[in-house]
């Protein structure tokens, strides 16, 4: 019928994140864009663990952008660890299902 474009749709990822190599202290953005109806909620996972953003912790250096991309104010990298290094995926969900992006690795460039 003519109203078929209004049917709800499961999410699909239309823009996938790509591997990043970032100098420490620099900003970075992992792209992710998802479509669906209703508009899917996007979450990020790093090495299988959910990534906290400033929505959960206002002091976080990671922000979930309106389109679903993950923005890092600055890449954290210390002697005690590399908290931002790892393999990221973005997951878009609505009530009809979920879609998972390709893996994107974020590496911090050498000192």
CATH code (residue 97): 2.60.40.10
Residue in this structure with the two tokens 């906290």, named with its chain if needed: 52
Q: Give the global pTM.
A: 0.89
When the pLDDT of each residue in the chain is averaged and rounded to a whole number, the result is 93
51-87 tens-digit pLDDT = 999 989 999 999 999 999 999 999 988 778 888 999 9
Residue in this structure with the two tokens 């202290």, named with its chain if needed: 25
% residues pLDDT > 90 (the chain): 83
Query: Structurally, how many domains does the chain consist of?
Result: 1
4-20 tens-digit pLDDT = 667 999 999 999 999 99
The domain of 102 spans 13-108
61 located within any domain: yes
In 3D space, the residue among 24, 37, 29, 33 whose CA is nearest the CA of residue 53 turns out to be 29
Pairwise CA distance, residues 109 & 67, whole Å: 27
| Long-range Cβ contact pairs of 57-62 (< 8 A, separation 24 or more) | none
Check pLDDT > 80 for residue 96.
yes
């Amino acid at each position: 019928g003519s109203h078929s474009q209004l049917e709800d749709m499961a999410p699909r990822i239309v823009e996938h994140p790509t591997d990043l190599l970032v100098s420490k202290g620099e900003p970075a953005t992992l792209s992710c864009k998802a479509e669906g109806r209703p508009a899917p909620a996007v979450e990020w996972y790093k090495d299988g663990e959910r990534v906290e953003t400033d929505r959960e912790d206002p002091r976080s250096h990671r922000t979930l952008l309106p389109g679903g991309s993950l923005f890092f104010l600055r890449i954290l990298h210390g002697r005690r660890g590399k908290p931002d290094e790892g393999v990221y995926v973005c997951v878009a969900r609505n009530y009809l299902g979920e879609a998972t992006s390709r893996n994107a690795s974020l590496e911090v460039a050498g000192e």
